Structure 1
């Protein structure tokens, strides 16, 4: 799975985020999940320390490996990408357009996450020139993983007004509402953490199977 295929608007891909266990990563791969997310923000309850991330290297070419970073020194995501741990970087904090440019100039594909409360929060999306924009619930100081939904009407409007910009929808998506999210927003991908878990960082594969079905897989 390449970043380009994952971000294609032709279908809705599935990214299971907050993976902390090698066994979970292997099972996601075996099920055909397109992407997994590993959270390298130390304050996350789904934190994966870089020294515990060796299993990601073993999955190269089998599943898209997305590294999630919050206000990190950009040397860390660049190093993990360069050393073969990651295929795509997700900046989920207060990063600037310049931060995105620095990574892209190094040949690293980047998703930028935005917390959405109102239409005004989306007006700066194009400033980042990212490979994709992730729309999540606005959660100051928490930076995602809250299980709160966003206004899907705003998300759909953003998708329609930016047809060339891949949009990943996050925030409060579960097996119960995933199909409705796909239908309402038509995103390039769903990004799900708490909605696919038994507990933070431990995946529930019954939920994962239902989410795959909701994405038409």
Structure 2
């Protein structure tokens, strides 16, 4: 088995949520950003029988703290994933409310990894995603060798274009702070709906290497 965790993001449909839950990912992400094609919608709810061992992650973009706290309470979220321009103070305020915080950074060849230093004591995890037109779900990888420039102490999720065909390349990274992979568009049939057969193949390639 791999020592890395697995997060499946962009979940929305109840039947699909249960299908994905059947393969026991460690984290499941729900997007509360209205401009996303994977936005959960106004009437969304998470079934009470969702396996409690799967950590629930709410994804937000530049949302105010009070609104986030309300949704964390309503949906019993374990973590919030902040995908916008949230400040260290914003993260700290959420963390002080005993909410797990994952701060996202969009990486390209100009990204300065020292940018994350000011967040070190304010978050639980970082997530490094490919910089693209959308706030996540672009389906494109970045040059993972750039992660060598990250020397911080906060564990991170790796995201951006991970699919069944390239997932084994994660093992070549050998970065001591790589905690989990985050998959989304690479296993979808349409935005917001995961192809469970693709997810099973990814897991087979991921843990059965």
TM-score if structure 1 supplies the norm length? Answer: 0.86
Indicate the residue corresponding to 2:192 in structure 1: 201
- Which range moved further: 41-50 or 178-187? 178-187
Report the counterpart of residue 130 of structure 2 in structure 1.
Answer: 137
Contact 2:27 2:54 in 1 (8 A): yes
Residue 207 of structure 2 aligns to a residue whose secondary structure is coil
Deviates more, 1:181-190 or 1:191-200: 181-190
Following superposition, the deviation at residue 207 of structure 1 comes to 1.1
Q: Which of 147, 160, 173 is equivalent to 1:171? A: 160
Q: How does 1:14-33 map to 2 (within 5 A)?
A: 14-33=6-25
In 1, the alpha carbon distance for the partners of 2:171 and 2:27 equals: 17
Unaligned runs of 5+ in 1: 1-9
Residue of structure 2 equivalent to 1:211: 202
> 1:46 aligned to 38, 61, 74, which one?
38
1:99 aligns with 2:87: no
Offset of residue 184 of structure 1: 2.2
Query: Retained in 1: the 8 A contact 2:28–2:55?
Result: yes
Check whether the contact 2:187–2:195 (CA below 8 A) recurs between aligned residues. yes
Structure 2 portions without partners, runs of 5+:
none
Contact 1:89–1:108 under 8 Å retained in 2: yes
Deviation at 1:94, TM superposition (A): 1.0
Residues in 1 aligned to 2:114 and 2:132: alpha-carbon distance in whole angstroms: 18
The equivalent of 1:7 in structure 2 is none
Deviation at residue 156 of structure 1 after TM alignment = 3.8
**What SS does the aligned partner of 2:77 have?**
coil
Do 1:12 and 1:215's aligned partners in 2 also have CA atoms closer than 8 Å?
A: no
Q: Compared with structure 1, are the counterparts of its residues 20 and 185 closer, same or farther at alpha carbon in structure 2 (3 Å cutoff)?
A: farther
Q: CA RMSD for the aligned pairs?
A: 1.9
The Cα shift of 1:185 comes to: 5.1
Distance 1:76 1:214 in 2: 39
8 Å contact from structure 1 (residues 40, 50) kept in 2: no
SS at match of 2:145: helix
**2:43 match: secondary structure:** helix
Deviation at 1:108, TM superposition (A): 0.5
